[in-house]
Amino acid sequence: MKKALIFQGGWQGHEPEAVAHILADILKEENYQVTITDTLETLVKEDLSAYDLIIPNWTQGEITDQQLQPLLKAVAEGTGLAGLHGGMGDSFRTSVDYQFMVGGQWVAHPGNDGVRYTVNIIDADHPLTDGMADFTVVSEQYYLHVDPAVSVHATTRFPVAEGPYQANGEVDMPVVWTKKWGKGNVYYNSLGHVADIVRMPEVIKLMKRGMVWATR
């Protein structure tokens, strides 16, 4: 049986506890043993290499070097890393090593919540997106600074909401990407502002496939 660790907390606006349980339920359906923790001290006190998958679900906040180094090491040695929205893409804003591993960092959501936008599947032959069609989301549209080394599987087009960034013209922003960190697989999905968005069938499908793909 595969083992997964979800650490949840940080800014409560993203409903981290509710989202953690949605992700845990997906994994349990795939026959994973899932541990959920609400403290970053777990990263120090437990042997992270015993987990096949780790899911950060901790928006903003601070992580110490003592807490971060075991996570970086575990993923580099083969433990998978997967997550979504701010729980993985806007964690620990002062930790560039964490952002380097993830492959990107949130910087803006023009128009805030309630923006209607399209998620474009661009890699329909990949197991992560096989058989999926473009779909519409009404939520935050994440603008991210992204590592050019990532493999992109879905995008969304900016601008939709008004803002000074419009002067730069249209840009296709990654929504779903994968990359490697040493021997570890890394999966990120920018959707999932609150639990109701995570429960969308398309997001559930993407997260199920992504978490399974990232697993050691």
Residue 174 pLDDT: 98
- The conformation of residue 66, written as its DSSP 8-state character, comes to H
Residue 141 pLDDT: 98
CB 119 within 8 A of CB 173: no
Residue 22 pLDDT: 98
Task: Quote the mean pLDDT of the chain.
Answer: 98
User: Domain total for the chain?
Assistant: 1
Residue 111 pLDDT: 98
What's 205's domain CATH number?
3.40.50.880
Residues of the domain holding 135: 2-214
pLDDT band at 98 (very low <50, low <70, confident <90, very high): very high
pLDDT band at 84 (very low <50, low <70, confident <90, very high): very high
Residue 128 pLDDT: 98
Residue 169 pLDDT: 98
Structure tokens at 176: 């779903």
- Put simply, whether the predicted model's pTM sits higher than 0.85 gets the answer yes
Share of the chain above pLDDT 90, in %: 99
Q: What is the pLDDT of residues 150-194, one digit of tens each?
A: 999 999 999 999 999 999 999 999 999 999 999 999 999 999 999
Cα dist. 22→35, 45, 52 in Å?
13, 25, 19
